[in-house]
Amino acid sequence: MSAELRKAIEQISKDRGIDKDLLIDTLERAVRSSVTKKFGEDVDIEVSFNDDKGEFEVYQFKTVVEKVKDPVMEISLADAQKQDATFQLDDEIGIQVKVEDLGRIAAQSAKQVIIQRMREAEQEIIYEEYKDRKREIISGIIQRRDRSGWIINLGRTEALLPKEEQIPKERFRRGDRVQALLIDVRKEGRGPQIIVSRSHPDYLTVLFHREVPEVADGFVRIMGVARDPGSRAKVAVMSTDRDVDPVGACVGVRGSRIQNIVQELRGERIDIIVWNPEITTYAVNALSPARISRITVDEEDRGLEVVVPDDQLTLAIGRKGQNVKLAAKLLGWKIDIFTESRYGTMYKERQGLEQLASVAEIPMDAFIAAGFDGTTAVAQASDEQLLTIKGIDSTKIADVRSAINFLGLEGLEESDGSAASEDENSAEESDQAAGGEEMPDEADLETDQPAEPQDLP
C-alpha cells in the first residue's frame, strides 16, 4: 500500500505538472480534514507524510489528567503510563491514529478534498503559466460554441474567443485549428479564463513580428495599426536603418511575407504606409492611394481639412468611408475631406462671412455659433433669425444687408453653391459607378475657420 501511494503521488505530479511537495501538502490537508470530520474541529492533530515508509502518519494529541472529562482531548494518567511510565499530569501525549480507521465517510471526505485541492493547484499553475503571455499568439482547436463565443482547446486548459473579438463573417467548425492573440487572463471561480482575440490591432502587429525578420530584429518598427477586421487595415512603418526599405521588407519578395499575414486574416487587405513625424506628410501617406491637393492643420482641435481633386473623392473617402476612417484612426486626428471645387466655394463663403462680421463689428465666431456658416445662409435669413446672433441689432442687420448687396456676395454664393452641389452629385455618381455605396457623412462635414491651407505636391 505504501509503495502504491508513493508511486501514485509521483505519477500525478508528473502527469499534472504539480510540484510533489505541493501535492503532499494537499494530501496532508485532506487527511486532516477527514480526521476533524470524525473527531470534531477541536481535536488537536498533526499529519505528516513519511517518505521512507510512503504513508501518512496521524498523531492525536491529548492532555494527561487525573480524571477524564473529554475523551477527545484528554487521557487518564494510568492509560498514559501504560505507553510510557515517565508521563506526568498535564503532559501532552501523541497517540497515533490509523488512517484506515477513519471510516468510509471520512475517507470519502478526504477524497473530495484531495480532488478539490488538486484542481486548485492545477488552476494556479495554469494561471501562472499564461498570465505573463499577453500579446502572444497561441494556437488551439475549436471545441464548441456557447453564448459568449468559441471555446478553444489549448491542451491542458481552454480559451475563449468572444464574439466581439472575432473577425466578422469568419466561420469555424468543431476540430478546426485556430490561432489568436492572448489579450487577458482572468481569475474566475471555476479557474483562470483565458481570453483571445483575432480582431485586435495588436494581433496584426504580432503577426508582422513573426513573419518579417526586420521587424523582429528592430530594423523596421510598427508605428501604428488601424483595422477594420476581415476587410481592410493600415499599418504605419518606419526604418531604423537607412539601408532597409520598411515597406519592401514587410511586403517581401513577390509579396510572400504580406501574403502569409493576409491569408491568416482571411483575406484582409493591408495597406503598408511610411510613418512620418510631420503630420501633413503622414496624412498624405495614410490617405493613399488618393492624391491630395492641400491640407489645413488645426493643431488645437487635432483636425485636418484635406482637399482632393474632384476625381479623387471616391478614393479618398473609400467604400462606406473606410479609407478616411482608417486613416483618422491611424493618425489619431479628425479628418474632413473636400473636393477642390467645393473647398473653393466654402473658402470664398468664409472670406465673405469675415467681411460681413467686420462690417457688423461682431466676431465671426458669433455668426458660426448661431448656425451661419457662410454668406448664403446670412443672405437668406430673416431679420428675426439674424437677431439670434450674439451682439447684433436692427442697425447692424441693415449694415450687413447693405454689405451683401454692395459686395455682390449673394449672387456670387448662389452660383458657387450650384457648382458645389453639382460636384457632390458627380462624386456620388462616380462612387456608385465604381461599385461603391452612397457617400458617407465625412464628405459633407463643415469645419471651423481653417488656417491658411498648405499646398502639397
CA distance 47 to 383: 96
CA distance 203 to 268: 13
Residue 145 near residue 151 (C-beta atoms within 8 A): yes
Residue 287 near residue 295 (C-beta atoms within 8 A): no
- The reply to whether CATH 3.30.1480.10 applies to domain 2-128 is yes
Residue 374 near residue 413 (C-beta atoms within 8 A): yes
Residues in contact with 126: Cβ distance below 8 Å, sequence separation at least 6, in sequence order: 156, 157, 191, 192
Amino acid at 114: I
Of 124, 109, 231, give the one whose Cα is nearest residue 169.
231
Helices (H) and strands (E) in the chain, counts: 17, 16
Residue 77 near residue 64 (C-beta atoms within 8 A): yes
Residue 26 near residue 118 (C-beta atoms within 8 A): yes
Residue 318 near residue 332 (C-beta atoms within 8 A): no
10-residue stretch averages of pLDDT, the chain, 457 residues long: 61 70 76 74 77 75 85 83 83 76 55 69 84 92 92 91 92 93 87 92 96 95 95 96 94 93 93 96 95 92 92 92 95 93 76 81 84 80 86 85 73 38 35 35 35 44
Residue 274 near residue 223 (C-beta atoms within 8 A): no
Report residue 55: phi and psi, to 5°: -150, 165
CATH fold for the domain made of 134-199: OB fold (Dihydrolipoamide Acetyltransferase, E2P) (2.40.50)
Report residue 222: phi and psi, to 5°: -85, 115
Helix ranges (H only) for 226-339 are 246-251, 256-264, 279-286, 313-317, 322-331
Q: pTM for the complete prediction?
A: 0.63
| Residues present in the chain in total | 457
CATH fold for the domain made of 208-339: GMP Synthetase; Chain A, domain 3 (3.30.300)
Peptide bond into 289 cis (omega under 30): yes
Residues in contact with 70: Cβ distance below 8 Å, sequence separation at least 6, in sequence order: none
